[in-house]
């Protein structure tokens, strides 16, 4: 009786590895964008009608404002005087038309937002925008 040659029992994994690598590259590319300036713990107020933002001016400064009044820029905590000095230095670099984005929690009192806006005005900047989450 003739013997059959040994069957190879290996699973073909080449294509699976290709797909897995593509998935990893996708997640790496999409997750790294803007992570450094956006404070994910802030729950933005929602808007329904405003147009969605496609591109953000690379010179814009994002100020994260928590409901308790805590301020941070690029995750670096700041007091109001520190923020003023920072904005003054930004104005000297990029001009007084530098866009300021205030990312505040929906439950933040306007009192806190007003304090930040006063600091922005004192720093000689005027293009202020409140960031909201767009409801689909």
Residues that bind other proteins (CB under 8 A): 13, 17, 20-21, 23-24, 27-28, 30-31, 40, 44-53, 96, 101, 104-111, 113-114, 117, 120-121, 124-134, 136
Query: Residue 83: left (phi > 0), alpha (psi -120 to 50), or beta?
Result: alpha
Residue whose C-alpha is closest to residue 106's, from 47, 62, 44, 64: 44
Q: What is the nearest approach in angstroms of other proteins to the Cβ of residue 128?
A: 5
Q: Which is nearer to other proteins, 1 or 17 (CB)?
A: 17
Q: Is 38 exposed, middle or buried (0-12, 13-18, 19+ CB in 10 A)?
A: middle
CB of 50 to other proteins, least distance (A): 4
Minimum gap (Å) between residue 1 Cβ and other proteins: 27
Q: Which residue's CB is nearer to other proteins, number 2 or number 5? A: 5
User: Phi, psi (5° rounding) for residue 76?
Assistant: -100, 115
């Amino acid at each position: 009786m003739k013997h059959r040659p040994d069957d190879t029992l290996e699973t073909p994994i080449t294509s699976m590895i290709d797909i897995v690598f593509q998935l990893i590259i996708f997640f790496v590319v999409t997750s790294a964008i803007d992570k450094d300036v956006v404070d994910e713990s802030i729950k933005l107020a929602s808007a329904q009608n405003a147009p969605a933002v496609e591109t953000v001016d690379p010179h814009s400064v994002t100020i994260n404002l928590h409901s308790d009044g805590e301020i941070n820029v690029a995750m670096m905590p700041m007091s109001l005087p520190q923020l003023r000095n920072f904005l003054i230095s930004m104005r000297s670099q990029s001009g007084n038309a530098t866009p300021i984005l205030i990312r505040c929690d929906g439950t933040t009192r306007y009192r806190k937002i007003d304090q930040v806006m006063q600091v922005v005005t004192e720093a000689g900047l005027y293009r202020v925008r409140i960031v909201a989450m767009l409801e689909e």
